[in-house]
Amino acid sequence: MLFKTRRFKQLVLSSLLTLAAVGTSSGMQAQDKTLLNVSYDPTRELYQEFNPEFARFWQEKTGEEIEISQSHGGSGSQARSVIDGLEADIVTLGLAYDIDAIAELSGKLPPDWQAKLPDNSSPYTSTIVFLVRKGNPKGIQDWDDLVQPGVGVITPNPKTSGGARWNYLAAWGYALQQPGGTPESAQEFVSALYKNVVVLDSGARGSTTTFVQRGVGDVFISWENEAFLAVNELGPENFEIIVPSVSILAEPPVAVVTGIAERRGTLDAATAYVEYLYSEVGQRIAARNYYRPRHPELAAPEDVARFPQVNTFSIDLFGGWQKAQADHFSDGGIFDQIYGL
Amino acid sequence: MISRTSHRSTRFERNLATREAPWVKWTLLTLSLSFFALFLILPLVSVFFEALRKGWEVYLLSITEETALAAIKLTVLIAFISVPLNLVFGVAAAWLIAKHDFRGKQLLTTFIDLPFSVSPVIVGLMYMLVFGANGWFGAWLVEHDLKVIFAVPGIVLATIFVTFPFVARELIPLMQAQGRDEEEAAVVLGANGWQTFWYVTLPNVKWGLLYGVILSNARAMGEFGAVSVVSGKIRGQTNTMPLHVEILYNEYNFAAAFAVASLLALLALVTLVIKTWVEHRASSHFNATHMVPADVNTLSPRVMP
């Protein structure tokens, strides 16, 4: 009586065989050495280009074949994943605070990790600029124009996005540095700015898609590299980049997660990897992917020429990331007060 | 089921007392059909349209590219592990609930439905809390160099959780409708528990079982939320197809994103076709064995006119 129907038997059998065939063929091939670089959203293109270059360099230097895997996501959530056990040999995140969090909560990095590499461990920098629609119909030139009534602003949520924190602090710093600027006037300015925000996405890439693909908003406060990428990938005929009078020096840091790399036996390769970002090859690739190289003389002049002059202030204006985070973005911090209103 | 309902509706139609005015009928029909066209068919068509916008070459290239292939293989592997496990769990649970009385039966039924009511993201976070580096078993797992979260086992666990109810939910009503008469007869004739299950219960529900497996497979391959939390999103290693679609989309690689999405959509369509076929077989089988008493002994499914 059992499964007498031949067709039914055949059906079950053939589907099992197909699955088995696919299942067994998916075994992973062994590599000499593997590295995992856990990064934030806008660096996809950069590391897609950098990883094969480093693999070639490493093989020439040591004869070892190396495979580099990439993981991308919001800077904060990527840090969370590493804390929860994602085995990153290298982290390349959007802001130092996120790597601080890994060091503090998992102990897999020394607290002074940022002093291990030159230039605050940031081989490339960026800044915050405005992306507007072609012809700049709302006439946006500087931060002041973003608080005008009727201007729709797109920026991600600073509680969840590293890029958004840079945006927020850039606006704050601008207001603070105006004649007669005080923390009170800065808070007032930033409050007015966030009143104009029409969509508060959770990450920088989400915001780009909102502004570019869905056509929402008049101005998108963005990483410079992200703005360049959006313009070049999705149509120079549709968008323009506006550089404000003053902005923040955004330093996306890189670090070897020594606790993990030591255990996996990849410390040498991981260290070479982050150091290679400072080399001519690394700097050239960074500049080509719209990150400002720390050593412009090493990059291609035509790539460097694309970057406009910007007056910047650094995170030191806020007393470093730890203090900025505690003052502005912690629960009940100034951002909560602003956005809760 | 289908044949019976359609038969009834025609009788319903013929009866003047129960027939609706033609304009009501046509308005409702137009309304629901245009709704389907607008919100179901059109988006589905647009996926294929976007996928093929840059031509077949780009399409084939984007689904045979290394990381895409790895994502497809991983997705199939996940389904290959989680669906058979669900099959066993589901049949066992349904058999217990439909054919036996015991204390806590209601509780078990509720637990089976739990994955339907828990948001997939919460499922992922639950596993994170248990198996993550700071979770209950985290330290022990690290010590023994076992990887659950951000590796294939974690993805399998999350997938099993979200697909758990499909097989059981499909079987319980079917088994309950069939009652225990045949099993009791088998026992009276001297069959032991295993024989009863294997020769009586299982053959009676095989089409329903296949239906449950198909649904469970479709969900296993398409799950996003729970898998997204525990995956770690490592390209070529822990990216399933739905995650890969999101990544490609975020890389402005729309043609490739829609190409992989079209594979998932294709899976959905194939599932739909098999599902309809199985439903048809199941209903004729059900009719053959249960609607006509004389046919009780001929268990091979026959299509009723």
Residue B45: count of CB within 10 angstroms of its CB? 12
pLDDT, tens digit, 9 for 90 and up, residues B169-218: 999 999 988 888 888 898 899 888 888 888 888 888 888 898 899 889 99
Pick the range with the lowest mean pLDDT from B11-25, B129-143, B268-282: B11-25
Whole-number pLDDT of residue B22: 83
Comparing CB atoms, the residue among A23, A85, A229 nearest residue B133 is A85
Contact: B203, A3; criterion CB under 8 Å: yes
Enumerate chain A positions whose Cβ falls within 8 A of a Cβ in B: 1-5, 8, 11-12, 19-20, 22-23, 25-26, 28, 36, 41, 44-45, 69-73, 81, 83-87, 105-106, 205, 209, 229, 233-234
All residues of chain A having their beta carbon less than 8 Å from the beta carbon of residue B149 are: 84-86
The pLDDT of residue A4 is above 50: no
Flag if A2 and B202 touch (Cβ within 8 Å). yes
Report which residue type is found at A124: Y
Q: Which of chain B's residues have a Cβ under 8 Å away from the Cβ of A1?
A: 199-200, 203, 299
Residue A24, pLDDT > 70, answer: no
**If you write DSSP's letter for every residue of A122-146 in order, what string do you get?**
-SEEEEEEEEEETT-TT---SGGGG
For residue B49, what are its two tokens? Answer: 């349209």
Return d(Cα A7, Cα B69) in angstroms, integer.
31
Mutation for B interface: A5, A84, A208, A211, most B CBs within 10 A? A84
pLDDT digit string, tens, across residues A100-123: 999 999 999 999 999 999 999 999
Contact between chains at A205 and B250 (C-beta distance less than 8 A): yes
Question: Which pLDDT belongs to residue B300?
Answer: 42
pLDDT grade for B135, boundaries at 50, 70 and 90: confident
Pairing of strands A254-256, A246-250: unpaired
Tell which residue, B167, B207, B196, has the closest CA to residue B300.
B207
- DSSP, collapsed to helix, strand or coil, labels residue A133 as strand
Question: Average of pLDDT values for A180-195?
Answer: 93
What average pLDDT does this structure show over A299-318? 92
What's the pLDDT band for B272 if we cut at 50, 70, 90?
Answer: confident
Q: Using a CB-CB distance cutoff of 8 angstroms, which residues of chain A are in contact with residue B251?
A: 44-45
**pLDDT tier at A12 (50, 70, 90 boundaries)?**
low
| CA–CA dist A113, A93 (Å, integer) | 13
Question: Considering only CB atoms, which chain A residues are within 8 Å of B128?
Answer: 84
Which 8-state DSSP code applies to residue B234?
Answer: B
How many angstroms separate the CA of residue A11 from the nearest CA in chain B? 10
> According to the model, what pLDDT value does residue B301 have?
43
pLDDT band at B299 (very low <50, low <70, confident <90, very high): very low
**Pick among B66, B125, B250, B303 to test the A interface (most A CBs inside 10 A):** B250
Nearest CA in chain A to B143: A263
**pLDDT, tens digit (0-9, with 9 covering 90-100), for B12-41:** 667 777 777 888 889 999 999 999 889 888
Any idea which residue has 């009652």 for tokens? B179
| 3-class SS of residue B258 | helix
Neighboring chain B residues of A69 at a CB cutoff of 8 Å = 234-237
CB contact under 8 A, A69 and B79: no
pLDDT at B44: 87
Per-residue confidence band for B291, with pLDDT thresholds at 50, 70 and 90: very low
Predicted local confidence at residue B232, as pLDDT: 86
Q: Give the range among A11-25, A167-181, B142-156 with minimum mean pLDDT.
A: A11-25
3-class DSSP string for A10-62: HHHHHHHHHHHHHHHHCCCCCCCEEEEEEEEHHHHHHHHHHHHHHHHHHHHHH
Q: Do B76 and A22 touch (CB under 8 A)?
A: yes
Helix (H, G, I), strand (E, B) or coil at B59: helix
- How many interface pairs between A and B have CB atoms less than 8 angstroms apart? 88
Confidence (pLDDT) at B7: 52
pLDDT at B9: 57
- Please compute Rg for chain A using Cα positions: 23
pLDDT, average across residues B60-85: 92
**Mean pLDDT for chain B overall:** 84
Give the separation between CA A208 and CA A322, rounded to whole angstroms: 27
pLDDT exceeds 50 at position A175? yes
Predicted confidence band at B168 (pLDDT cuts at 50, 70, 90)? Answer: very high
Segment (H or E) for A237: none
Compare B251 and B248 and report the one with higher pLDDT: B248
Query: Mutate which of A16, A49, A86, A109 to test chain B, going by most B C-beta atoms within 10 A?
Result: A86
pLDDT at B243: 93
**Number of Cα atoms under 13 Å in the Cβ half of residue A228:** 23
